[in-house]
Amino acid sequence: MNEEKEVEEQSKPLVLEKLEEHHADALLAQDEMRGTVVVVVRKEQAYAVLEYLKTDAELAYTFLVDVTAVDNSQMESELMQFDYARFMVVYQLYSYQGQCRLRVKVPVHESDLSIPSVTALWKGANWLERETYDMFGINFEGHPDLRRILMPDDFEGHPLRKDYPLRGRGERERFNFDKQNV
Amino acid sequence: MQGGLERATGEKMVLSFGPQHPATHGTLRIVLELDGESVLKATPHAGYLHTGFEKLGEHLDYNQYIVVTDRMNYLSPLSNNFGYVLAVEQLLDIEVPKRCQYIRILMAELSRLADHLLWLGTAALDLGAFSVFLYSFREREKLYSIFEKTTGARLTTSYTRIGGVLRDLYAGCEEDVREFVNNFPKALKETHTLLTRNRIWMDRTKGVGPISADDAIDYGLTGPCLRAAGVAHDIRKAEPYSSYDEVTFDVPVGTNGDAYDRYLVRMEEMIQSCGIVSQVLDNMPDGPVNVENNKITMPNKSDAYGHIEGLIHHFKVVMDGHGVETPKGEHYCATESPNGELGFYILSDGSGTAYRIRIRPPSLLHFQALPHMLEGGMVSDTVAVLGSLNVIAGELDR
Determine the structural domain holding residue A136 and report its residue range.
2-181
Domain boundaries, chain B: 3-45, 53-93+95-292+327-397
Q: Is A16 helix (H, G, I), strand (E, B) or coil?
A: helix
pLDDT in tens, A99-112: 889 999 999 998 99
For residue B299, give the nearest of B308, B350, B211 by alpha carbon: B308
Q: Is B244 helix (H, G, I), strand (E, B) or coil?
A: helix
- Residue B181's contacts (CB-CB under 8 Å, 6 or more residues apart) are B274, B277, B278
- pLDDT of B11: 76
Low-confidence residues in chain B, pLDDT < 50: 1-4
> B278 to each of B102, B174, B177, B178, B181, how far by Cα in Å?
11, 10, 9, 7, 7
Instruction: Say how far apart CA B17 and CA B129 lie, in whole Å.
Output: 21
Interface check for B227 against chain A (CB to CB < 8 A): the answer is no
Compute the nearest-CA separation of B295 from chain A (Å): 21
Question: What pLDDT band is residue A175 in, cutting at 50, 70 and 90?
Answer: confident
Instruction: Say how far apart CA B198 and CA B192 lie, in whole Å.
Output: 9
- pLDDT of B97: 92
CB contact under 8 A, A122 and B220: yes
- pLDDT of B224: 92
- Out of B218, B332, B355, closest to residue A103 by CB: B332
pLDDT in tens, A53-77: 999 888 889 999 999 999 998 888 8
- Out of B56, B233, B343, closest to residue A65 by CB: B343
In 10 A of CB A57, how many CB atoms? 6
CB contact under 8 A, B364 and A68: no
Q: Determine the topology of domain B53-93+95-292+327-397 in CATH.
A: Cytochrome-c3 Hydrogenase; chain B (1.10.645)
CB contact under 8 A, B369 and A124: yes
Give the bridge partners for B41, in sequence order: B33
The answer to whether residue A125 scores a pLDDT higher than 80 is: yes
For CA atoms B250, B256, B262, B268, the dihedral sign is: negative
For residue A61, give the nearest of A24, A97, A20, A22 by alpha carbon: A97
- pLDDT of B7: 53
The DSSP result for A101-157, as a single string, is EEEEEEEE-TT--EEE--TTT-TTHHHHHHHHHHHH--EEET-TT---SSS-TT--S
Give Cα B131 distance to the centre of its chain.
24
Compute the nearest-CA separation of A125 from chain B (Å): 8
3-state secondary structure A55-114: HCCCCCCCEEEEEEEEEHHHCHHHHHHCCCCCEEEEEEEEECCCCEEEEEEEEECCCCCE
Contacts of B370 in chain A (CB under 8 A): none
Instruction: Say how far apart CA A109 and CA A111 lie, in whole Å.
Output: 5
Chains A and B form CB pairs within 8 A to the count of: 100
The CATH number that applies at residue A81 is 3.30.460.80
Instruction: Say how far apart CA B386 and CA B200 lie, in whole Å.
Output: 18
Instruction: Say how far apart CA B333 and CA B340 lie, in whole Å.
Output: 13
Look up residue B157 and give its amino acid.
Answer: T
- pLDDT of B115: 92
Cα radius of gyration (chain A)? 18
Compute the nearest-CA separation of A152 from chain B (Å): 8
Interface check for A155 against chain B (CB to CB < 8 A): the answer is no
Mean pLDDT of chain A: 85
Q: Are B52 and B64 in contact (CB under 8 A)?
A: no
CB contact under 8 A, A127 and B46: yes
CB contact under 8 A, B345 and A128: no
Instruction: Say how far apart CA B117 and CA B140 lie, in whole Å.
Output: 6
- pLDDT of A129: 93
Interface check for A92 against chain B (CB to CB < 8 A): the answer is yes
- Out of A92, A96, A124, closest to residue B345 by CB: A92
Contacts of B47 in chain A (CB under 8 A): 148-152
Compute the nearest-CA separation of B73 from chain A (Å): 17
- Residue A25's contacts (CB-CB under 8 Å, 6 or more residues apart) are A42, A45
The answer to whether residue A2 scores a pLDDT higher than 50 is: no
Domain count, chain A: 1
- pLDDT of B4: 47
The answer to whether residue A115 scores a pLDDT higher than 90 is: yes
Residue of A nearest to B344 (CA): A66
Interface check for B217 against chain A (CB to CB < 8 A): the answer is yes
Q: Are B206 and B388 in contact (CB under 8 A)?
A: no
- pLDDT of B323: 81
- pLDDT of B3: 47
Instruction: Report angle CA B346, B348, B349 to the nearest 5 degrees.
Output: 160
Interface check for B292 against chain A (CB to CB < 8 A): the answer is no
Question: What pLDDT band is residue A180 in, cutting at 50, 70 and 90?
Answer: low
For residue B65, give the nearest of B75, B77, B49, B53 by alpha carbon: B53
Determine whether B238 is exposed, middle or buried from the number of CB atoms within 10 Å of its CB (0-12, 13-18, 19+): middle
pLDDT in tens, B207-253: 888 899 999 999 999 999 999 999 999 999 888 988 899 999 999 99
- pLDDT of A182: 47
> B384 to each of A175, B288, B340, B369, how far by Cα in Å?
36, 46, 19, 14
Look up residue B374 and give its amino acid.
Answer: L
Q: What are B152-156's contacts with CB under 8 Å, separation 24+?
A: B155/B70, B155/B74, B155/B77, B156/B67, B156/B70, B156/B71, B156/B77
- pLDDT of A16: 83
Contacts of A150 in chain B (CB under 8 A): 46-47, 50, 397-398
- pLDDT of A1: 43
